Structure 1
Amino acid sequence: MRSEGLRWGYVWRVASRDLLSTLRDRRTITSTILIPLLLIPLFTLGLPLLLGRFIGGQAQERQKVGVVGTLPESLRAALTRDEKAPGGAVTRAGVDLVPVTDPRAAVQSGEVEAALRAPTPLPGRAGDGTGRLEVYAKLGNLRAQTGAFAKIESTVEAYNRQLAVERLGTLGLNAQTLTPVTLSPIDASPEQERRSGQLAFLIPLLMLNFILTGAMATALDATAGEKERGTLESLLVSPVRRSEVVAGKLLATTVTALTTACFSVLGFLLSGLVARAAVAQGETPAEVAQAFGGQLSLTPGGALALLATVISAALLISAVLIALSIYARSYKEAQTYVTPLSLLIVFPAVLLQFSDFLTLSTGIYAIPLFGSMVAILDTVRGNLTAGHALTAVGANLLGALLVGLLARRSFGREEVIFRN
């Protein structure tokens, strides 16, 4: 290996050559710019809104509930009664009770969404003893859990409390006897963490996955693609050094990856603008976070930390892609090599939803890529420290350097370059 430094003019010529080749493919432009710009707001805004509309729609929709035998009249009235807002709008609809003979078969056939059966008579007023009410429902079904079953469960709890309060009244006691101590939960999380919502773990998942998608287009075409077309040999016999070839291809791949990352961040910021617009219309930030699943709001320091983390992650991913792709004989073979990389990003990123159970020591941030995911999540939540940010960035840069040296060694071996 020569000791001379890189001639950046040649490096940029190699990089611009690979970037132009990438830009000629319209599918690459779509995956690099349009997909992250459109899909991220769809995930962060559309998915929570869809779930909220679905669950809210179940609350306002009347479901059929089968009944075997008879129920106390007061319990039947509570189950079928609609709850209305002061303006008259229905906030929670009741259920329609219909007689059935076989509650299990009625639920399984879809005739009713849930069914009630009382093996013993139920108390109709305080002092009538106790009873047992069986509820038949598809408990693994989200529609049933948020609809008929949830209404039955809450109504029976309120009915039990009503009978208990009546019983206490006969003894000269009031309802406060049942709850001598009231619990008032107060969220002590920082403001930014509250705003990030429960879907904050999706941000590092989507961001790194889009970085990988953007980098793959250039990395595979600049290595295995050039091998397949026979143009790599002509590049290597030019006056450009092997180290400059590797640096140029790494620069081109990183630029493509960072372009995707920038549009990913733009997508999250666009989601935040929509959420802030909802706040301007009178909704509280907590309501917005609950409705949209969270919103991205960064301080200048947080934005700088996010940018540094994303750049270092893009550099590492680009180096890994180039080091793997150069071994492939063809573009198709290179795709089989790099496809498992998406799983190495998806699985750890999904585990971030359980990050509250992790002890986030400095060692976690020293793991390449995974440390970046944790750092991005901490940045979104406003919990990232300078030491952890530097550790995550340093681990990525060190990994990129080592993998880059491996790629440089591969470009210098004829048995690798001429494998096709």
Structure 2
Amino acid sequence: MKPVWRIAWKELVQVFRDRKLVFSTLVLPVLLMPVFMFGPTLFLSRLLEGTSAKVQEVAVAGLPQEALEALLKANLAPKPVEDPEKAVREGKYPVGVVYEGGRYRVFGRLAGGVSESQVAVGKAQAALQGLKERKVAEALAAKGISLDLLHPFQVETVDASPPREKAGGLLGFLLPFFLVSFILSGGQVVAVDATAGEKEKGTLEALLAAPVPLLHLALGKTLATVAMALLSGVAGLVGLAVGGVLSARLGGELLGQGGQVLSLGGQIQLDGGGFLALFLTAFLLALFMGAVMVALGLYARSFKEAQSYMAPLLLLALFPLLFLQFRGFFELQPWHHLIPLFNTALLMDALLKGQAEGLQVALTWGSTLVYGALALILAVRVFAREEVVFRN
């Protein structure tokens, strides 16, 4: 196996000689992930807090005095306007309220994402809802009816998630997605340079002329790809973890539509066995995708063509991960852990939540190892075809 390690070491040395490439692949993710992942959300959280405390002008028409007073208490400044709906549509006011026929109508520009108009609409709705409840309470009190009639019982929602799943927060949901992304982006750096790059430099012919079996050549280049993919994955996870810790300390939270608080941070709680299982899952995934990228790189005529193959491969690999957010809507079956890429995402999610079962682990590891072996065989066959290797 010495030729395999020598080839792998040669490819890694070539990559690490490029300091800019090493910085962008291994260092930059650690620095930028906290900013990109949690910076905008923390900024939005602070922005929403500031907007809620700000006094917005509201276009009104036909409102009784009690409604005007309720809006004033909600940090809204009523301004009489003939057509509040038109005024809001033209952007003159963030919110408008009209009262006619016993009905309040609240107007806002709600189709453009999170905006000041949405915040102002929420404040107006809360003010009018409070006014409604107060008038109902006064009517009941006038008739001698107890106010307890309005609240015959209380409803309390309690998060019954397992402790490990609850501690993970948003970080636990994002980790499988970004782990796969960094594995692919880091692996393609070596895979493309070790295949199509060597074609353009004219060094692949000399390598093929060496007394080394094609299997060893393919395996060496694949192992170098796997090593760089894992290093990139570790760098991305470090950056993600740092961002999660900083977000949790800064109190980054968003209020969900149901009133629940969504934590932007999170903590990954894994014991030694859990970390080992997660690492082995990532290794098998990197082995599978590394062999695929080596085969594609050999098939490409040029460095640029190889890079054009990697972009669709990344999208294809991320597509199964999109369904991970819907896993709570269907019951997992054993065969789900045989689907390439989707099975590793499911297992990573289960490991982070402490819900992984032996059958899930066996099916995922076994099937991914088989897929990796098949991809490696494909890479060897591509090496063996001269019309493909020398078609540049």
* TM-score normalised over the length of structure 1: 0.85
Deviation at residue 105 of structure 1 after TM alignment: 2.3
Distance apart, 1:378 and its partner CA: 2.2
Cα distance, 1:272 vs structure 2: 4.7
Q: Partners of 2:134 and 2:124 in 1: how far apart?
A: 15
Give the 3-state SS of the residue equivalent to 1:162 in structure 2.
helix
Deviation at 1:323, TM superposition (A): 1.1
Aligned mates of 1:293, 1:48 — CA distance in 2: 11
In structure 2, the partner of 1:194 is 166
Q: Deviations over 1:359-408 (max 9, x none)?
A: 22222222121111122222233322233233222222111100101111
Displacement after TM superposition at 1:144 (Å): 4.6
Q: Partner residue of 2:338?
A: 366
Structure 2: distance between partners of 1:81 and 1:107: 21
The count of aligned residue pairs is 382
Which residue matches 1:242?
A: 214
What is residue 270 of structure 2 aligned with on the other side?
298
State how 1:345-384 maps to structure 2 within 5 Å.
345-384=317-356
Deviation at 1:258, TM superposition (A): 0.7
Distance, in Å, in 1 between the alignment partners of 2:58 and 2:171 is 34
Inter-CA distance 386–274: structure 2 relative to 1 (3 Å threshold): farther
Residue 29 of structure 2: aligned partner: 36
Residue 294 of structure 1 deviates from its aligned partner by 3.1
CA shift at 1:249, angstroms?
A: 0.3
Whole-angstrom distance in 1 between the partners of 2:110 and 2:248: 37
Give the equivalent residue in structure 2 for 1:283. Answer: none
Q: Which residue of 2 aligns with 1:138?
A: 109
Task: State the match for 1:285 in structure 2.
Answer: none
The equivalent residue for 1:62 is 55
8 Å contact 1:80–1:97 — kept in the other structure? yes
1:250-276 deviations in Å (ceiling 9; x for gaps):
111100001011112222332454367
Inter-partner Cα distance in structure 2 for 1:57 and 1:362:
49
Alignment map for 1:169-248 (pairs within 5 Å): 169-198=141-170, 200-248=172-220
> d(CA) in 1 for partners of 2:146 and 2:171?
42
For the residues of structure 2 that align with 1:238 and 1:304, how far apart are their CA atoms? 37
Structure 1 residues 158-173: aligned runs within 5 Å = 158-173=130-145
Relative to 1, partners in 2 of residues 1:154 and 1:262: Cα closer, same or farther, differing over 3 Å? Answer: same
Structure 1 residue 347: deviation in Å? 2.6
Q: What is the TM-score of this pair, normalised by structure 2? A: 0.91
Structure 1, unmatched stretches of 5+, are 1-7, 83-93, 121-130, 280-288
Task: Provide the rounded CA distance (Å) in 1 between the counterparts of 2:312 and 2:301.
Answer: 18
Distance in 2 between the 1:292 and 1:335 partners? 34
Matching residue of 2:67: 75
Q: Aligned partner of 2:34: which letter?
A: P
3-state DSSP of counterpart to 1:419: coil
- Counterpart CA distance in 1 for 2:250 and 2:107 is 40
- Pair 1:257 & 2:229 matched: yes
Aligned-residue sequence identity (percent) comes to 37
1:12 Cα shift? 1.1
Aligned counterpart, 1:106 = 87
Change (3 A) 1:57 1:378: farther
Where 1:326 maps in the other structure, the secondary structure is helix
Matched residue SS, 2:299: coil
* Aligned counterparts of 1:49 and 1:268: Cα–Cα separation in 2: 15
TM-aligned CA deviation for residue 327 of structure 1: 0.6
Q: Partner residue of 1:286?
A: none
SS at 2:140's partner residue? helix
Structure 1 runs of 4+ off > 4 angstroms? Answer: 275-279
Q: Match for 2:201: what amino acid?
A: R
Alpha-carbon contact 1:44-1:293 (below 8 Å) kept: no
Q: Any stretches of 5+ residues in structure 2 without a counterpart? A: 252-260
User: How much has 1:278 moved relative to structure 2?
Assistant: 6.3
Match of 2:97, SS state, is strand
Q: Could you tell me which residue of structure 2 aligns to residue 409 of structure 1?
A: 381
Q: State the match for 1:335 in structure 2.
A: 307
| 1-structure distance, mates of 2:250, 2:360 | 34
Q: Is the 8 A contact 1:59 1:146 kept in 2?
A: no
Q: Could you say which residue in structure 2 is the equivalent of 1:90?
A: none
Aligned to 1:11: 4
Per-residue CA distance 1:323-343 (angstroms, 9 max, x = gap): 111111110111122210111
Considering only aligned residues, what root-mean-square deviation do their CA atoms show, in Å?
A: 2.0
